[in-house]
Structure 1
Amino acid sequence: MRRILRDNGLSIVFGLLFLGSLVGQALAGHADFINRQLAQGGEPISFGQYVTSADFAVDVAENWQSEYLQFFLYIMATVWLVQRGSPESKPVGRIGPETDEDQQVGRHAHDASPPWVQAGGWRTALFSRSLGLVMGALFLASWLAQSVVGMSAFNAEQLGDFADPLPWPEYITSADFWSRSLQNWQSEFLAIGSMAILSVYLRQRGSPESKPVGASHTITEESG
């Protein structure tokens, strides 16, 4: 058990942090929702009703879609774009999808390679792009979920104000939908850019996201 915990520490710790923060968000969101309801002369709702409501779901979905967008764009951008001196970047001379030898595919695959790499053909081609495809699919799925539950939350407010609800095609072109999306996207883009630049000049001893403490600022793709 101790070995399992050690070997899977990152996924276990961040999984627990995710669950804890999700529960915390639900509890704080429920309290805030009740305060807003009472301030507007409405009736409070139970915790179970809140966590199954569009109001809670849209907040969760808009966070998820922005995170998956961050990873999808970073995975795809780092194939072709580089940042000299950053451990988050490939060396300048390796721009692009790289050779079969670099990627250990085709005749360069070995016995320990994943089965789909050894199989060749469409399976190797698909596996070679599987991370980007899955991240892109998760982004689109969570963005679609955000648009659906966001529409429900928006229309609930519209009806409360005796205004006409919007159908889905109109909602996805509305200011509410794009405001929710863009306010999250800009923070993700800032975080990615900051990490790429700051890791050129700053260090964190022992972290694979940082270069070795004594490494030159100009060294690219070297983890410590």
Structure 2
Amino acid sequence: MVAAVRRLKDNALSLMFLIMFVLSVCGQAVAGLLDYNDRQVAAGAEPVSLPDYVASSSFTVDVAENWQSEYLQFFLFIMMTVWLVQRGSPESKEPGEEGAESDEQQRVGRYAESSSPAWARAGGLRLWVLSNSLGLVMGAVFLLSWLAQSVAGQAAYNAGRLSDLRDPVSWSAYVTSPEFWNRSLQNWQSELLAVLSMVVLSIYLRQRGSPESKPVGAPHASTGVEG
């Protein structure tokens, strides 16, 4: 019992976000179904069930376009913070520390510790994969969700065109259309603004006890220091 409580406490942050994620997806499905059926009835069509709506291109494209913008944000932030710095931000390395850092700083190869991942002591491809695994996974999820958005978006877009008695378009025509890029860019701009706000506001503002903030009494110019 004590061990189970300890595990819950040790993983409370990820568990809380997982719960909120599941609840928000369920809420989106219900709200989306009501909105979809309202438009179906207004158009003289039959309403659909929740399972049919969740399996539809309309629901898939809405979910996928949000996922791809989120993972694009993380991918760009992870990769850019390797080489770019922002003085005073806890989200940045210190100026002058740009780059992938030495093996000693990264504790790989002969500098690996006994508790380090096994591949940190390896060389060649295994070390390269481990060294870039976070960016690779974030980038892969972005590309896969972008592909899912494009395929589901094409299906939803063509369904609307067919209901208007217009010819459907190909996948290549859809991903170069204003419809696709309007949906994509309206999500990208909000994610990029959120990252910009976090990087800049964390220079001057504080949140006591949060590792995303500098200590309350830290100078504004302190960089890479977390509370």
TM-score normalised by structure 2 residue count: 0.97
Candidates 113, 118, 133, aligned match of 2:136: 133
Equivalence for 1:96: 99
SS at match of 2:40: helix
SS at match of 1:207: coil
| Greater alpha carbon shift after TM alignment, 92-101 vs 201-210 | 92-101
1:126 and 1:5 map into 2 onto residues whose CA distance is 30
Q: Write out the 4+ residue segments of structure 1 that deviate beyond 3 Å after TM superposition.
A: none
Q: How does 1:106-125 map to 2 (within 5 A)?
A: 106-125=109-128
By how many angstroms is 1:12 displaced?
Answer: 0.4
1:54 aligns with 2:74: no
AA aligned to 1:111 is S
Equivalence for 2:25: 22
AA aligned to 1:117 is A
| Greater alpha carbon shift after TM alignment, 92-101 vs 187-196 | 92-101
By how many angstroms is 1:121 displaced?
Answer: 1.9
Length, aligned pairs only: 224
The answer for unaligned runs of 5 or more in structure 1 is none
By how many angstroms is 1:99 displaced?
Answer: 1.0
1:191 aligns with 2:194: yes
By how many angstroms is 1:122 displaced?
Answer: 1.6
1:63 aligns with 2:66: yes
Candidates 105, 109, 133, aligned match of 2:108: 105
Equivalence for 1:44: 47
Q: Deviations over 1:166-186 (max 9, x none)?
A: 111111101111111101000
| Greater alpha carbon shift after TM alignment, 204-213 vs 98-107 | 98-107
1:12 aligns with 2:41: no
SS at match of 2:215: coil
1:160 aligns with 2:163: yes
By how many angstroms is 1:221 displaced?
Answer: 0.6
The answer for unaligned runs of 5 or more in structure 2 is none
Candidates 205, 211, 214, aligned match of 2:214: 211
Q: Deviations over 1:72-105 (max 9, x none)?
A: 0000000011110000000002101111111111
Q: Percent identity?
A: 62
2:125 and 2:176 map into 1 onto residues whose CA distance is 38
By how many angstroms is 1:165 displaced?
Answer: 0.3
